Amino acid sequence: MTNTLLRASTACIRLITVILIAAFPGHIFAQNDASAHILVGNAPMEMFFVPSGMCMADSAQSTIKNFYISQQPVTWQLWNEIMGTRSGGEAGDSLPVNNVSRDEVELFILWLNQKSGMQFRLPTTMEWTCAVRNGFHPDDGHALCSDGGDASAGFRLVMDDPREVRTAEVIEKADQAGVAADSTRKEERESLSLQKSLAQQLRAERQQTRQNRRKVLLPSVFCTLNAAYTSMPQWSVGFKVGTMRVVGWYFSFMTNFHYKGAFDPFQPNGHYVLTGASKTSYLGAQLGLVVRPCRLLSIHIGAGFGYRALKFESDQGWHSYPKRTYYGPTAAAGLMFHVKNMVLSAEVTSMAYNLNTLNEMHYALGVRMGVGFCIPYHHDVKLKIKDERILVH
């Protein structure tokens, strides 16, 4: 719609300009419907108007446009003024130029046009015939034409109708302006198309980036089987489960399943008859935080509570040994390495425990290793991607 209005406006402006120039051609020379008066330097020149129409000469027919032809041949006065010579003498200034070559005539017309700013030329045979048939009556009865004749007896000048010349120039300039406007509109459309293409490409790249990031940060469920050894000494096994995205959580549980084994002899009470059998009972639970900075690595820390009791067997059954019963807070920190869906876990654990009878705080350090799996679970996450427009200034 905008392009249609622009074309219609350009056509209207072009038409109005042509009408104004045709109606007001300017004061290049004084003219009427039949003649025109031109003053070139100090030499006046009367011009005869020949209207356009069909004309035939030497069995050839042609259409001519409006033009003016000089009433009198070029005089020595005008020749000398343009050529800078003194030919013809003072008495002969008003006489026609004669005995000059065609090359000299063409040079004269070239310089005349440069000095006057007009566009004179020699008439064609067709124009000469048409002028005679329209009432032009030269005294000499012949003329030097652009396509024949000589300048031995003088020559006349012809110029196109300035109104038609100016109209044609305006139309040509208007056409050129229209072409330039069309070219500008084409460039604008191409630029707009390029902007849209770049915007679409940018949105696609950002959407792909977000999708890749979403894949990296998809919520995952992991589970590992762990084995630990502490400095008490003590063996334990257990599991760790959790979920994570960028930040997640985990729960860990460890036990030794009441491990049975011999330990150093001791004398708890005299009435016990020991069998030599013993076992260690351990339970520990932790709750922690998981941070996953990249796809291949996650960091986790946790804290919880642990309990360890040492029991022995006698003829009266199993008994707890107070000096070997521990309980207290536990802590752990470690790394998990992700290889596809497999997880390798390594962490350092510690336990601060209190001896019931001695009321002293002690610390035990240990290492816990684990292996397991990590599987992302999919869910419908709709990303709202807003349209982003590129403004090119």
Phi–psi pair at 216, nearest 5 degrees: -65, -35
Nearest to 376 by CA among 347, 343, 345, 344: 343
pLDDT in tens, 253-266: 998 876 665 444 45
Dihedral angle computed from the Cα positions of residues 320, 321, 323 and 327, in that order, rounded to the nearest 10 degrees: -20
Q: Measured between alpha carbons, how far is 368 from 386 in angstroms, rounded to an integer? A: 47
Q: Measured between alpha carbons, how far is 322 from 345 in angstroms, rounded to an integer? A: 34
pLDDT confidence band for 46 (50 / 70 / 90)? confident
Q: Measured between alpha carbons, how far is 71 from 157 in angstroms, rounded to an integer? A: 9
Q: Measured between alpha carbons, how far is 130 from 393 in angstroms, rounded to an integer? A: 60
Report the share of the chain in percent with pLDDT over 90: 14
pLDDT confidence band for 381 (50 / 70 / 90)? very low
pLDDT at position 285 over 60: yes
Kindly state the helix (H) or strand (E) to which residue 54 belongs, with its residue range: strand 53-57
Q: Measured between alpha carbons, how far is 78 from 59 in angstroms, rounded to an integer? A: 36
Q: Measured between alpha carbons, how far is 216 from 214 in angstroms, rounded to an integer? A: 5
CA 58 from chain center: how many Å?
67
CA 371 from chain center: how many Å?
50
Average pLDDT, the chain: 76
pLDDT at position 15 over 80: no
pLDDT in tens, 157-202: 888 877 765 555 556 666 676 677 777 888 888 888 888 888 888 8
Q: Measured between alpha carbons, how far is 235 from 352 in angstroms, rounded to an integer? A: 17
Q: How far apart are the first and last CA of the chain?
A: 24
Q: Count Cβ atoms below 10 Å from residue 241 Cβ, excluding itself.
A: 14
Q: Measured between alpha carbons, how far is 302 from 286 in angstroms, rounded to an integer? A: 6
Instruction: Check residue 385 and give its pLDDT.
Output: 39
Phi–psi pair at 25, nearest 5 degrees: -75, -10
Q: Measured between alpha carbons, how far is 39 from 88 in angstroms, rounded to an integer? A: 21
pLDDT at position 33 over 60: no
Q: Count Cβ atoms below 10 Å from residue 143 Cβ, excluding itself.
A: 24
Q: How many residues does the chain have?
A: 393
The maximal CA–CA distance of the chain, rounded, in angstroms, is 171
pLDDT at position 317 over 90: no
Structural domains present in the chain? 32-160 (3.90.1580.10), 220-376 (2.40.160.20)
Kindly state the helix (H) or strand (E) to which residue 126 belongs, with its residue range: helix 125-133
Nearest to 222 by CA among 278, 290, 123: 290
Instruction: Check residue 344 and give its pLDDT.
Output: 94
What's the DSSP call for residue 283?
E
